[in-house]
A and B are shown apart, each in its own frame.
Chain A
Amino acid sequence: MSDNFHIEVFSNGLTLLGRVMDDMSSAAMSLLVRCGSADDPPAIAGAGAVAAEWLGRGAGQRDSRALNDALDSLGVQHSTNAQSEHMQITAAMLGRNLPAAIEIYADILTKPRLEDNTFGPCRELIQQDLIALEDEPARKAGMALRERFFPQPWGRCPYGRSETLEAMTAETLREHVVSHMSPDGGILALAGKFDWDAARDMLAERLGDWQGLARPEPAAARPAGGAEHIAKDSAQTHIALAWPSALCSSERYYAARLGEAVLSRGMGSRLFTEVREKRGLAYHVSANYTSLRNSAGIFVYAGTRPALAQQTLDVTLGEIARLGEGISDDELARAKTQIRSSLIMQSQSTSARASMMAGDWYHLGRLRSLAELSEKIQAVSKGDVMDYLREFPPRQFSILTIGPEPLDTTGLALSGEDA
């Protein structure tokens, strides 16, 4: 599990990361630059999401169709998404096609056309995504919970609101993209079968004179937290709740991941056992750790028929609370094996490696080898997990439910009440 990373920081502030994997045939790229949803100007919220579409509509010598055809002809699997903290561009392909793909992405970053005539359809697609959320209550619950849980503007719905999308123009969005999507602080990670020296030289040439300084980060406003119910005549009641956890960059991170694993990794985990296996209350119940740079949480979701929703919530909260009473040696050992295995499994995916590298650099400013990650996980003791749980007890909950009837959340320590 030893890793030989390559790191190159260009003078414009862009960091290039590389991990050559000669056993693979594919290569993957993960690029993080500013211009995520948190950077959206409030009046045109949804800007990042529309920009993610717009960036694909022509760059350099290529118009929209020619640009997409160029990626298609190389067989590139690609996506561009506005996440909270970044614009994320990912691409995976046969390793031999990486140099040609780099040429295309260099154009997208440095010479996006952002033309008036392609703006309308891009905005309209995001307007449709926003409307379609109404038909997908599980996804909507997740987004609405992030909005309550994370400090603003980091939690905001990436699609904005109908009035902010309406207020957006080609001109306002172009100005936003040009001023925010800069190389400064950007991260480009490559993993798989490729020639590092050649890729670095090519990127230095194509992206070296890309200019622009990172804008100051937006000020963080306290999250709304608390409880909200959205009434909907849905088949299931969708329960989403979260409470704070240790940041990805903190020393408590590894204990947090083990706590999460005991709660929800595998079918023998506590939530799955108590909610689904013993009681048959839900098909989907899970807890997931999520970290931004300034805020982290454990996010729980359960979908259940309305008549069983209160019981599902109560059992779920009972298991979350019981974590604080301690975990067994067996549970800790299982969780460690699971995480070690999954690290090795991820190491076989060039896309997963590229994403992990970009994430590490963003959160930690350095790269962790799989061996280091494995050792850190192995070193966590039961006491460490308990210390973590004492520092981040399951309190200050934010909860969001969608369904025919609201649930009783009076017993829940909501955020804002005990902060």
Chain B
Amino acid sequence: MQFREAQLDNGLKIIAEVNPSAATLAAGFFVRTGSRDETPNVAGVSHFLEHMVFKGTARRSAAAVNLAFDEMGANYNAFTSEENTVYFASVLPEFQTDCMDLLCDILRPSLRQEDFDIEKGVILEEIAMYEDHPHFRLYDNLMRRHFDSHPLGNVILGSAESISNMARDDMQAYFDRRYSPTNVTLVGVGNLDFDAMVDQARRTCASWQRLEASRVAEPSRPVGSRGVITDAKLTRQNIGLMCQAPSGQDERRFAAQILANVLGDATGSRLYYALVESALADDAQMTYSPMDGEGALMTSVSTDPEKVAQVLGVIDEVFRKFIDEGPGEAELQAAKNKIASQATLSGELPMGRLTSVGFDWVYRSESVPLARQIDVMFAVSADDVLTLAQQCNLPNATLLTLGPLENLPA
């Protein structure tokens, strides 16, 4: 396993974790842009643009892009979050040149009006699709409530209204600003020829224009409010809680990962035993999201509407007990072992490793072998987790429920 890095004159960074014994390679462009970088008039543009990147370039039509990926048997896709847009493909090593050529090409899309108009319909369908998934609705609304006026509260997909009103030239302007090579990292993992990858990127990407692409980073100020969204059509009550947590640059992020696992792992955790084992809820989980300068712990629970008061009481009790005592030694070890297994299993797949290597670089400009990351995680003590739990102020989390209930129980 060898780590390599290079940079083009225009600022585009290229990094790779080369593993000659792997059967495949994965490569991707990590663009440091997402819904937090949008203004309200173009809400959802980052994600809409992600779709448009597959719709053709000066030398390829939309159909040609898709067929080129399919011809190499690539496993490919893209995703947009609050702060990253990632385009990735996994292929057999024999397709490295073709795959790099295609990825580099599509990152300068034509944004043709006709394609833009058709794709708008697809985005509106995607918005409607999430409307029929209560969990996603809860997430969007909880983020908005928790981060309030901070741009991390922006909904990734935007709204039907913002998408319908969006003009092609607005997207172009956003693209020009945010897809500057200084804001993009090309990442590779697996069985790849790094020098060839850099040569090819130089040929295709060196002409990309360097522009200022900064990110407004005022700290968020969550106030821990409580709210209800009533939807009489739903049968279950979905509960979400969110509190501040270490950022993606914070050393305490390993403790936060362990904290989320001890409290809210889906197959065995404090919340699991308190709520799911007894069937008070059919699902109870806590996830940790490290972000750029910010972080969040989200608890999500699905329960019967009439059990909400009881469930909220149990959650509060679990949180208060935890910030008094912290984790026990056995549950601390179990959480570490589960996180290590999960990281190992995901790291064995090129796509899993690609996102880890990419985000290590995007957030911290570092490359850390998986084994060393696991060692650092194992060094976290029970006290570290306890201290963090107290700092996160779990019992005063922002609370939102979605379901048939009209009011929150007192």
Contacts and interface: CB of A to CB of B under 8 A. Distances in A.
Interface stretch (B18-26, B33-41, B213-221): B18-26
Interface stretch (A75-83, A316-324, A405-413): A75-83
A390 interface: no
A350 to B, nearest CB: 7
B334 A69 contact: yes
A135 interface: yes
Given A305-B124, A342-B73, A273 B63 contact: yes
A121 B277 contact: yes
B75 A345 contact: yes
B72 A341 contact: yes
Contacts of A41: none
Nearest to A351: B345
Interface string A13-35: 00000000001111000000000
Interface string B144-173: 000000000000000000000000000000
Contacts of A125: 276, 279, 282
Contacts of B276: 125
Contacts of A268: 63, 66-67, 69-70
A26 B345 contact: yes
B66 A131 contact: no
Given A24-B348, A283-B129, A342-B75, A77 B69 contact: no
B236 A348 contact: no
Nearest to B55: A277
A233 interface: yes
A73 B341 CA distance: 11
A72 B133 contact: no
Interface residues of B, number: 69
B66 A77 contact: no
Interface string A323-359: 0000000000110011111101101111100000000
B406 interface: no
Given A68-B267, A77-B342, A132 B69 contact: no
B128 A305 contact: yes
A54 to B, nearest CB: 12
Interface stretch (B6-14, B115-123, B251-259): B115-123
Nearest to A118: B277
A108 to B, nearest CB: 14
A347 B22 CA distance: 11
Interface string B256-287: 00000000010110000100111100100000
Contacts of A251: none
A74 B23 CA distance: 28
A369 to B, nearest CB: 15
A267 B122 contact: no
A370 to B, nearest CB: 10
Contact of A265 (B23, B70, B125, B350): B70
Interface string A93-117: 1100100000000000000000000
B341 A76 contact: yes
B132 A236 contact: yes
Interface string A116-146: 0000111011001101101111100000000
Interface in A256-307: 265-269, 272-273, 276-284, 303-305
B141 interface: no
A73 B128 contact: no
Contacts of A23: 21
Q: Which of A24, A93, A267 has the most CB of B within 10 A?
A: A267
B341 A136 contact: no
A281 B125 CA distance: 7
B238 to A, nearest CB: 8
Contact of B348 (A75, A124, A265, A348): A348
A381 interface: no
A92 interface: yes
Contacts of B24: 341, 344-345, 348
A24 B22 CA distance: 10
B129 A132 contact: no
A64 interface: yes
B340 interface: yes
B63 to A, nearest CB: 7
A350 B70 contact: no
Given A273-B63, A282-B125, A77 B338 contact: yes
A280 B345 contact: no
Given A71-B268, A93-B341, A129 B282 contact: yes
Given A234-B132, A284-B129, A348-B23, A341 B69 contact: no
A201 B277 CA distance: 34
B306 interface: no
Nearest to B119: A280
Contacts of A348: 22-24, 348-350
Interface of B: 21-24, 54, 62-63, 65-67, 69-76, 90-92, 117-126, 128-129, 131-134, 233-236, 265, 267-268, 273, 276-279, 282, 302, 304, 330-331, 333-342, 344-345, 348-350
Given A345-B349, A345-B350, 8 more contacts: A26-B341, A94-B344, A132-B236, A236-B131, A277-B62, A304-B125, A340-B73, A342-B73
29 contacts: A26-B341, A26-B344, A26-B345, A64-B277, A72-B265, A75-B334, A75-B338, A75-B342, A78-B267, A94-B340, A97-B337, A128-B304, A135-B235, A135-B236, A138-B129, A138-B132, A138-B133, A267-B66, A272-B66, A276-B122, A277-B62, A281-B121, A283-B125, A303-B125, A304-B125, A305-B124, A344-B23, A347-B23, A348-B350
